[in-house]
Amino acid sequence: MAPISLAILNPIAFILMEIDKQKGQNQQADSQAKGLQSLKLLKQILKGIVFNPVLLMTILGMIGNVAFKHKISIYIEGLLEVFGQSFSATALFLLGLRMVGQIHKLKGPALVLPCVLIMVKLIILPVVMRECVSSLNAGTNESETISLSTYAFLYGTIPTAPAVFVFSSLYQLEIDLMASSMVICTFLSGPMMFLSAELISINKDYAAQMKKFGFDLSIVALLCCLWVLIVFVITKKHRRMPHRLTISLLLSQILLAVSVIWGGPHNTSAPSLNATIQQAFLSFSMYSCLLWTSMLSVGILMLQSRGPCFVVTLWPVLGFVAWGAPAVMVTVLLATKSSTENINSQATDAIRLCLLVFCLTVTTGCLIVYIRLRRRSALFASLSAEATTNFSPPEETSSLVENMEPTSQAQSVSGDTNAALGCYGTITASPSPSRQPNGCCSNDPDCENDLADSNDIEDLGSNIRECACPSWRRAPDGACPHSRDVQRAAAALGLLPHELARARTAQLLKHTVLIIIYSLSMFIGITYTTWRMMLKDESGVFVEIEFLDVAANYGQGLVLFILFGVDPEEILVPTLRYLKTKWYGADTVILPPIEDLSFETKHVCDQFISHHLDRCRDAIAKDTRWRMRTYRGVFRGSCLVKWLIDCGLAKDEYEAVTYGRHLVDGRLIAHVSDAHHFTNSPMLYAFK
């Protein structure tokens, strides 16, 4: 197998990587010499492939095998064996060396793509390899074909070879991603291999054990779903998007767990009214879980492209599809069954297989489009950040205007654009009467911003971005001209979506992970249902696929619990903060006495009062409305930091924050509720 892989399969990847490498080096070439450039590119690609050490050494080894008549000299064989044995160790050492200082980066969004690659490698690839070998009838008889297909499944669970990281380093392609993915895959593939080997050797009927496993798992999943539901209700996420769609999926999973628990831990084949109703509820909840997963992916895509108000309008349609279609299917199953039998299992499996294929197609397609829109928005954000970096405002007093925008989008929307966007407009100090301070439509009570339920008055996180353009450079509607130029450039490049999406603190990353995991469970369900309908050999690998299908189907509540139920910021931290407030009273900043202030603090305060106080107040202080309350003459901490840097009182953000802390200690500025010291954040401060 080694020569086939090294001399036939690997060159395909080498050709693609060489094309990418040479295109990257020659992308600045003159368009007039396009024909000559193509010939030169082809020559460089062929040269890179021919002199590739992996391919070259493989071909030389095959030639040497023929030249030495299949028996190499003992001296040459010993030398080459040492070199061959040192390759794996050297590659693994290079892999570990690359991971130095990279472990702390393996969290949050950085883990999504490695986990997707690992799931494809450890779960999807073994199934595909097994089906390919089985479909090709690789053995001389049926027994040998089954044996080879089982070996192919086990072979697919082996971790990725370290040579892949060497190729990645050679062509400078996603080195950090490949390093982290291979390290995690190596640690996870061990348990997967041993589990597969044990389950493959099973030849007994484990239907009763699978039934009991599904029953026990449903009890745990029911408790997890109820906890997540309580968290959503307490934190008022059930009123937001896309959490409203998630709650609908959660209710379907609760109904699925109740249906499994209703059926009991033992198999009952005797037809009865109770068994028929239980099977009907089980089929309905199973179908609705699949459809709600695809509807959730549609909702997240619409949330990114059209905004939450459109998703609120679309929500009844999604609910009708996700609950109405399963009801019709179950009604048809009940109408076509005989009075002396339970619901036909073959018809149930056929409907489930069709739903799995449909839902997996819709979910995967929506997820791909959603990721492409996110990347397009990130490109626009880079353009906006570059324009902001290249602009240097004059050192004169100016009014700083805060725009409510997510940092992931980095968009500055003009007043005309706000009107076109409908629900999502720019939030300024004096919002229009038709808009709430959270930036949503006042005439739609269902459309709410996640910021509306924040615990602290300025718990805005990173959703605030200030524009430092002076008033004389702004348009009459208050829009930044540089942002408009960037928008026009992005529109010309096709980077702007049809409507500027507004990412909220809606935990979109967690929803993306949720959809990816459920898509994997759909693939496992398709494999198991197809295998069961085709009546293939139900031993060995089938037992493992059935086990994975039961775990993925009845254990969906555990995934929701891990993603949404164990976040300490949702329940634990607010509860401790509330108890601390009730026990000790409200949080206040304890400042040192005036007579104990350092000479530096007194000097900074005296200089600020004498030369900068009036100018600073005129530049950044303004009336700000937040949560039905207007704060007079306040400013954000980030505004003061930017003003201090622009005026030359501080070289960087660190010095500006230190300067601001001197002002707080000197009683010149203070937090509006005296709950925080000075920080470079959107928190509100006022002059005393």
pLDDT surpassing 90 at residue 223: yes
Residue-level pLDDT at 220: 93
- Cα distances from 517 to residues 10, 99, 191, 463, 688, in angstroms, run 30, 26, 19, 28, 53
CA distances from 240 to 442, 447, 681 (A): 15, 7, 25
Beta bridge partners of 73: none
Q: CA torsion sign, 78 to 79 to 80 to 85?
A: positive
Model's pTM, two decimal places? 0.66
Does 485 or 130 have the greater pLDDT score?
Answer: 130
Which of 356-370, 464-478, 570-584 has the highest average model confidence (pLDDT)? 356-370
Q: What does the pLDDT look like over 65-76, one tens digit per residue?
A: 888 887 877 888
Positive/negative CA dihedral, 67, 70, 74, 77: positive
pLDDT confidence band for 80 (50 / 70 / 90): confident
Q: Is the pLDDT of residue 393 over 60?
A: no
Among 445-459, 560-574, 586-600, 607-621, the least confident range: 445-459
pLDDT of residue 269: 61
User: Is the model's pLDDT at 299 over the cut of 80?
Assistant: yes
DSSP letters, 4-64, are HIIIIIHHHHHHHHHHHHHHHHSTTS-GGGHHHHHHHHHHHHHHHHHT-HHHHHHHHHHHH
Would the pLDDT of 259 be above 80?
yes
Mean predicted lDDT score pLDDT of the chain: 75
Per-residue pLDDT band for 35 (boundaries 50, 70, 90) equals low
pLDDT at 417: 35
Q: What is the pLDDT of residue 208?
A: 80
Question: How many Cβ atoms from other residues are within 10 Å of residue 614's Cβ?
Answer: 11
Question: For residue 203, what pLDDT is reported?
Answer: 65
The share of the chain scoring above pLDDT 70, in percent, equals 75
Q: What's the rounded Cα separation, in Å, for the pair 57 and 10?
A: 13
pLDDT band at 628 (very low <50, low <70, confident <90, very high): low
Local structure of residue 441 (DSSP, 8 states): B
Weakest-pLDDT range from 274-278, 327-331, 377-381, 674-678? 377-381
Q: What is the pLDDT of residues 629-660, one digit of tens each?
A: 788 889 989 899 999 998 889 988 889 999 99
| Res. 291: pLDDT tops 90 | yes
